[in-house]
Structure 1
Amino acid sequence: MNSTENINYEDLRAYREINLSNLKHNLLQIESLLNNNCKVMAVVKADAYGHGAVEVSKYLQSLGIMHFAVACIDEAIELRKAGIVGEILVLGYTPTSRKKDLIYYNISQTIVDINYAKELCENEGILDVHIKLDTGMNRLGTKIEDIEELIEIYKNEKLNIKGTFSHLSRADSLLEEDVNFTNSQIDKFYKIIDILEKSNIDVGKIHLQSSYGITNYKNLKCDLVRPGIILYGVSSIPYDKTLDELSLKPVLSLKTKIASVKVIHESETVGYGNNFTSNRDMKIAVATIGYADGYPRGLSRYDFKVLINGHVAKIIGNICMDQMILDVSNIENLKIGDTVTLIGEDKGGYISIDAISEVTNTINNETLTAIGKRVSKIYIK
């Protein structure tokens, strides 16, 4: 679904509203932190953090974004087939047997280590690549101690070097120990860039900052930045105050419907395991969303709240695979088909994704990307 035009909300079981105006606002906020020569590489992996990679990328492309990053080759191919132009970088591993697909769809591939580079070069064809340097995260990337072999990779005629990058593993923390570690990563990165350039190596576009690198380490000299979670208007860590200066606007709201309303009596139980027992006569409602849709079962029995017609309702019993049960005793004139807001604003009330992630002891990245494919997407401006 591309917009709210001609959409019958009554037909929807559960849906997320994607506010493209807020996405544009966040992009402009990010760009305001960059120097004129630095461009945004929008991270749209994991279906754009649950927001819809194709529609989000199309919209960002209309705003002038020409660099995109994904996690795997199939995400990149999906964007190409949808008409996305410009560079698409695969940040993760692609089997060397798919080198032809990378070339055919004009996709840039990350060199994850030296052996991987050698294997890619054994196959026919010249491939666009970005070389990742491991500066201390010890995930993907070539070890910077292997400088001679690294230089040989840059010189290999089967690799067209489009960029060089690394990843800052603690940039979200301002604790002294973490800042010191991040600064050590930054120093290692620029030292190896300096060595390569003094060896007459063209390192391509350099990039080091993802979301928190952009906000907490603003003055780095890079050609690209890689905003992910902040592009979608939220922090990784629930209630993180370090991003307040950006005035981000959440892009996603999550909503569902009421399927049934009934009265239960005192001492009756509700849901699987009979884990809720009423202490009075109550009006309850069944909402059409569950943990198979990515709404966390871990919110069960925490008195977690949702919004209906601007009123607060409490989740009771265990959240089911496809449904959940609500105490709606305080809500008058409730009817089947009424909207339940799980994330977002409803008549002055607000449920934040931070509240969900805090209770389930995770980060907002996981909460967003866990939203299932059964939950429709509606794009509004």
Structure 2
Amino acid sequence: MLEARSRAWAEIDEQAIVHNLAEVQKLVGKTKIMGIVKANAYGHGDVACARVLADAGVDFFGVSSVDEALNLRDHGITQDILILGYTPPEHFHYLYEKNLVQSLCSYAYAQKLNDFAGAHHQVIRAHCKVDTGMNRTGVIYQPQEKHMDEILAEYRLPHVHTEGIFSHFPVSDDLQEDSRTFTERQIRLFQEVLNGLQEQGIDPGIRHIQNSYGILNYGDLGMDYCRPGLLWMGVTSDDAIPIRSDPDFIPVLSLYANVSVVKTIQPGMTVSYGRHFTAERPTKVATLSIGYADGLPRLVSNQGWEVLIHGHRCPQIGNICMDQLMVDATEVPDVQEGDTACLVGTQNGQRVTIDEISRKAHTINNETLSALAARVPRMKKRGK
């Protein structure tokens, strides 16, 4: 992480990461934490955040792809790394060369991995993915169709060391009765698989099933690991979604941009592409040096989204441009070029959240944060 300001920048509060980890740990008891740092740690900076997590005791990381895993390895992350997604066969060699753990997307995929490892006189580490209802990847084990034979076969492959097993919740964020029933059924199905393995004399190895909302709403399930992503970042997918627990999370990321120009326009004058904002009064327009190429969704244009300047809420006006956006700063007395606008975070005692952006864009924080562009520097938050 850099230490100097740019035209637009994000600040990462490393102390907040440690605090949030402790809050997660309170919810899951002795269950260990697998730090999910895929998608550049949801836009927070995977390497820098992984280092903070590792220093705080996290000994397992989850990523989406072999490329993400290699990036961590290349930057000195030595802890175990689970690749949650698909690795193409031409990249199988990295799995043993870099001591990575591959999730088994299907039994056919596990066989292909086994054949490759055998041909190269290697053993590749893996976790069995059980599909208890997500219907995305993994061996199906659901009331309508149970492929226990394939799960057993994955554990018996000679050149794939299946040292763990996991599943995933699609509706653990929903507290409606139907969704709760579905999630609780998934938990029972997963336990049924674990029992089936043990009955065959097979140690399932590392067990994990809880994503962030699984942690928030289902507490300690007695597994070996849980998989928080957004939680260690101090946010949920949407702070309007009710949860069963009451953690004290601190958002890790704040987002800022410079004011580049301030001008006053007269009634009838329009702002930005498409001329979708027309001034109804003399309006002080502040242009900020950040836009949709920096990851801000263009969908929030003219939707009443507000940023902070000198602690005053300033509505965004006109269409957001690739590198710039405009706000109505009429109520900010001394706004000028070089001032700092806060798009996410706290300024002068006022707060704006990532949730406000996501809701205006009709999406969730996972997407909004992950879209934050690489050209926006991630900086370590300065001490107070």
* TM-score, length of structure 2 as denominator length: 0.95
**Structure 2 residue 135 is matched with structure 1 residue 138:** yes
Alignment correspondent of 1:161: 162
1:217 corresponds to: 218
Alignment of 1:49 onto 2:50: no
Measured after TM superposition, the shift of residue 169 of structure 1 is: 1.1
> SS state of the match for residue 350, structure 1?
strand
Tell me the distance in 2 between the aligned counterparts of 1:149 and 1:356.
Answer: 44
Note if 1:35 corresponds to 2:35.
no
Aligned match of 2:57: 64
Kept after mapping to 2: 8 A contact 1:235/1:243: no
Which residue is equivalent to 1:85? 78
Q: Which residue of 2 aligns with 1:206?
A: 207
Q: Distance in 1 between matches of 2:185 and 2:313?
A: 48
- Checking the alignment, whether the CA contact within 8 Å between 2:154 and 2:162 is kept in structure 1 is no
Aligned to 1:279, what secondary structure does the other structure show? coil
* Residue of structure 2 equivalent to 1:326: 327
Tell me by how many angstroms 1:34 deviates: 2.5
What are the equivalent positions in structure 2 for 1:301-380 lying under 5 Å apart?
A: 301-380=302-381
Is there any run of 5+ residues in structure 1 with no aligned partner, and where?
none
Q: Which residue of 1 aligns with 2:236?
A: 235
Runs of 4+ in 1 over 6 A off after TM superposition: none
Q: Which digits, 9 at most, give the CA deviation of each residue in 1:188-241, with x for residues without a partner?
A: 111011011110112111001111111211131201110111111111134233
Partner of 1:194: 195
Does the 8 A contact of 1:41 with 1:66 survive in 2? Answer: yes
Asked if the contact 2:173/2:241 (under 8 Å) is kept, the reply is no
SS at match of 1:331: coil
Question: TM-score, normalised on structure 1?
Answer: 0.95
- Cα deviation per residue 1:128-169 (whole Å; 9 max; x = unaligned)? 000100111110101232222321220111011221000011
Native 8 Å contact 1:238 1:358 kept in 2: no
- Mapped partners of 1:32, 1:22: distance in 2: 15
Residue deviations 1:64-112, cap 9 Å, x none? Answer: 1110000000000100111111210000010122111111011000001
In the other structure, the counterpart of 2:14 is 20
CA contact (8 A) 2:139 2:150 kept: no
How many Å apart are 1:379 and its aligned residue? 1.3
Contact 1:130 1:161 in 2 (8 A): yes
- Secondary structure in 2 matching 1:79: helix
Write the letter of the residue equivalent to 1:310: G
Distance 1:147 1:263 in 2: 69
Structure 2 residue identity aligned to 1:114: Y
For 1:131, the aligned partner's letter is C
Give the whole-Å Cα distance in 2 for the aligned partners of 1:44 and 1:50: 9
CA–CA distance in structure 2, aligned partners of residues 149 and 69 of structure 1: 24
Structure 1's 243 and 299: CA in aligned 2 closer, same or farther, altered over 3 A?
farther
Which of 118, 124, 127 pairs up with 1:127?
124
Distance 1:244 1:199, change over 3 A: closer
| Aligned residue pair count | 374
What is the CA–CA distance in structure 1 between the aligned matches of 2:249 and 2:296, rounded to whole Å? 23
Whole-angstrom distance in 2 between the partners of 1:133 and 1:327: 51
Compute the displacement of 1:309 (Å).
Answer: 1.1
Equivalent residue, structure 1, for 2:171: 170
Greater CA deviation, 106-115 or 353-362?
353-362
In structure 2, how many angstroms separate the alpha carbons of the residues matched to 1:308 and 1:244?
34
Tell me by how many angstroms 1:18 deviates. Answer: 0.5
Q: Deviation digits for residues 314-373 of structure 1, max 9, x if unmatched?
A: 111111111011111121222211101001100011111111111211111111111111
Matched letter for residue 157 of structure 1: P
Whole-Å separation in 2 of the counterparts to 1:348 and 1:129: 48
Residue of structure 2 equivalent to 1:285? 286
In the alignment, structure 2 segments of 5+ residues that lack a partner are none
Q: Tell me how large the CA RMSD over aligned residues is.
A: 1.3
Give the CA deviation at 1:244. 5.8
User: In structure 2, how many angstroms separate the alpha carbons of the residues matched to 1:359 and 1:304?
Assistant: 7
Contact 2:216 2:245 in 1 (8 A): no
User: Are 1:100 and 2:103 an aligned pair?
Assistant: no
- Describe the SS at the equivalent of 1:245: coil
2:265 is matched with: 264
Question: Which amino acid in 2 is paired with 1:319?
Answer: I
- Does the aligned pair in 2 maintain the 1:288–1:324 contact within 8 Å? yes
Contact 1:238 1:363 in 2 (8 A): no
- Distance in 2, Cα, partners of 1:199 & 1:244: 37
- Tell me how far apart the structure 1 counterparts of residues 276 and 194 of structure 2 sit (CA, whole Å): 59
Cα distance in structure 2, aligned partners of 1:70 and 1:49: 11
* Letter aligned with residue 336 of structure 1: E
